[in-house]
Structure 1
Amino acid sequence: MKWAAGLMLALLGGCGEIQGTGEQARILAMGDSMLAWNGTAHQSVSFAIEQELGEPVVDRSVSGAHVLYALPVSGAMGMKISKQYVQGKWDWIVLNGGGNDMWLGCGCVRCDTRIDRMISADGKSGAIADHVAQLRATGAQVVYVGYLRSPGRNSPIEHCRDEGDKFDGRIARMAAADPGVHFISLADLVPYGDRSYHAFDMIHPSVKGSAAIGRRVARTIGAHD
């Protein structure tokens, strides 16, 4: 499919980087290209969080990263999101993931089994629930960030809208069971027909989109710090 080929090319175009000194940083970011995008221009989601809160963020997100990833070498390089974790005195861990597992793993068609493996219908089990529990055991609060939508636009994101809604609902149920887990939905962020929140591929965030996502994350951290 054309959208799948475009997605593969887009994933190669964004990469995360470690920012912040790490010496006094208390916020860690982990995830895929939605967080990493615009990082080379110092305008990623993590940079927006830094600007809003006035403190450093250590960003370990990697474009193309998956929740479910079987290759050990690539997984160790951050392609498996849980492998992105580094030791630190983290008060907050900003996390996302799951989109590549659906878009590249099952093409957002008959994805129920894959979604179940990531997060159960009740939000209590699956790879994501297990990972979040491990992160919470460190004492950090976790902010799980959903994915952008593109209402009124024909895009790969809209192709995956039903799967995305199902996925968001499960993450929200997981967060509701733990006051230290906060789910940020982005389903209402983009106005109908507005392209300005997306990059050229209509998948990843534009600079404006990254800034808007970062502001939502920063507000959540500020409200519960």
Structure 2
Amino acid sequence: MLTRLLTALFLLSVTQAGLAHAGGQNGPRILMMGDSLFAMHKLAGGSVGTRLRAALDAHLVDNSVGGARFLYRLPISGALGLNIAKQYRRGDWDWVVLGGGGNDLWLGCGCNRCERKMDQMISEDGRRGVIPGLASRARHDGAQVLLVGYMRTPGNGSPIEHCADEGDMLDARLARLAGLDGGVHFLPLADMVPHGDLSYHAMDRIHPSFKGSRVIAHRIARLIAAESGAPVVSRGAGGAD
């Protein structure tokens, strides 16, 4: 447990800088919310949000924070962005891109007997929980919502290898939520990493490498472009995956 806590605090320290950079003015207005899947490499300018901003010339605000959870009860740290729900800001967004849930399952219950936490995040039918509530709020404010699933491990010594079943369950529920509203979309990442390929992950084999962040951004950019007609104006998100 101590190791997990130290890992979360370390990731917070290296990914919290630069939470809200706007950038381009000609592309879609995007709010990103989530954890280190998005926040990784912010300081180095290689995060998912940085690459997505370049790819779409987006006016993009990235409020993601390493170590963030959907079910975070502490008010002070929640105000720092560790509570994903508190990362939301009302605005004239075209898209709200939402990720997260891995810390709730891994740090919160060790990916073991996590049914209660899973239900609190999103019910089996996709209609209730924190995630549907956030999606509904963003839709009410006029944005389309993109739910991004978690990329899987390379299947080679990752400390979260045993979380695969929970990842599949979360993805299935997110897909059901997306099926309830034409303005909510689900982007799975389960097929992104070839088995045994370590190049998509950082050394911890949990978080995305620079390449992993680039490919995730490329997939998000392609979906937004396809759904809204927004052109991909640069290869900033990287090449084909």
Same fold (TM over 0.5): yes
Q: 1:205 to 1:132 in 2, by over 3 A?
A: same
Over aligned residues, Cα RMSD in angstroms? 1.9
**TM-score w.r.t. length of structure 2:** 0.87
Q: Which residue number in structure 2 is paired with residue 15 of structure 1?
A: 15
The residue identity in structure 1 corresponding to 2:95 is W
CA distance in 1, matches of 2:8, 2:209: 17
What is the SS of the residue equivalent to 1:182? strand
The residue identity in structure 2 corresponding to 1:94 is V
Q: 1:11 to 1:86 in 2, by over 3 A?
A: same
The residue identity in structure 2 corresponding to 1:138 is D
CA distance in 1, matches of 2:12, 2:93: 29
Q: CA deviation at 1:90?
A: 0.3
Tell me, yes or no, if structure 1 residue 46 matches structure 2 residue 41: no
Please list the CA deviations of residues 34-58 of structure 1 after superposition, one character each: whole Å capped at 9, or x if unmatched: 1000111111001111122122311
CA distance in 1, matches of 2:162, 2:6: 13
What is the SS of the residue equivalent to 2:70? coil
The residue identity in structure 1 corresponding to 2:64 is S
Bigger mean CA deviation after superposition, 160-169 or 48-57: 48-57
Tell me, yes or no, if structure 1 residue 186 matches structure 2 residue 175: no
Unpaired segments ≥5 residues, structure 1? none
What is the SS of the residue equivalent to 2:46? coil
**Runs of 4+ in structure 1 over 4 Å off:** 21-25
What is the SS of the residue equivalent to 1:142? strand
Q: Which residue number in structure 1 is paired with residue 221 of structure 2?
A: 218
CA distance in 2, matches of 1:93, 1:157: 27
Unpaired segments ≥5 residues, structure 2? 229-241
The residue identity in structure 1 corresponding to 2:21 is Q
Tell me, yes or no, if structure 1 residue 85 matches structure 2 residue 119: no
Percent identical: 52
CA distance in 1, matches of 2:7, 2:148: 20
Contact 1:198 / 1:209 at 8 angstroms: preserved in 2? yes
CA distance in 1, matches of 2:112, 2:127: 24
CA distance in 2, matches of 1:23, 1:55: 6
Contact 2:24 / 2:57 at 8 angstroms: preserved in 1? no
Q: 1:8 to 1:61 in 2, by over 3 A?
A: closer
Tell me, yes or no, if structure 1 residue 197 matches structure 2 residue 200: yes
**TM-score w.r.t. length of structure 1:** 0.93
CA distance in 2, matches of 1:43, 1:83: 24
Contact 1:7 / 1:201 at 8 angstroms: preserved in 2? no
CA distance in 1, matches of 2:9, 2:75: 23
Q: 1:22 to 1:138 in 2, by over 3 A?
A: farther
Q: 1:22 to 1:87 in 2, by over 3 A?
A: farther
Q: Which residue number in structure 2 is paired with residue 171 of structure 1?
A: 174
Contact 2:9 / 2:67 at 8 angstroms: preserved in 1? no
Aligned length in residues: 225
What is the SS of the residue equivalent to 1:160? helix
Please list the CA deviations of residues 15-42 of structure 1 after superposition, one character each: whole Å capped at 9, or x if unmatched: 1422225977611111111100011111
Q: CA deviation at 1:94?
A: 0.7
